[in-house]
Amino acid sequence: MDLSWITLRRLAQSLPFVFALHVFEEALGFVEWFNARVEPDLSWQMFMAITGTAFVVTTLVAAQLAVSRGRAIAFVATAWVGLLMFANGLVHVAASIVDGGYVPGLGTAVLLYLPLSLLLFAAITVECGLSRIAVAAVALLAGIPMFVQGWLVIAEGSRLF
Q: pTM of this prediction?
A: 0.95
- Exposed (0-12), middle (13-18) or buried (19+): which is 124, by Cβ within 10 Å? buried
**pLDDT at residue 6 in the model:** 87
What is the block-wise mean pLDDT of the chain (161 residues), using blocks of 10 residues?
81 98 97 93 95 98 96 98 98 97 98 98 96 98 97 90 70
Strand ranges, E, within 6-159: none
Q: How far apart are CA 97 and CA 55, in angstroms?
A: 27
Phi, psi of 7 (to 5 degrees): -105, 160
**pLDDT at residue 1 in the model:** 64
| Cβ 14 vs Cβ 112: under 8 Å | no
Of 152, 6, 19, which Cα lies nearest the Cα of 85?
19
**pLDDT at residue 79 in the model:** 98
**pLDDT at residue 3 in the model:** 63
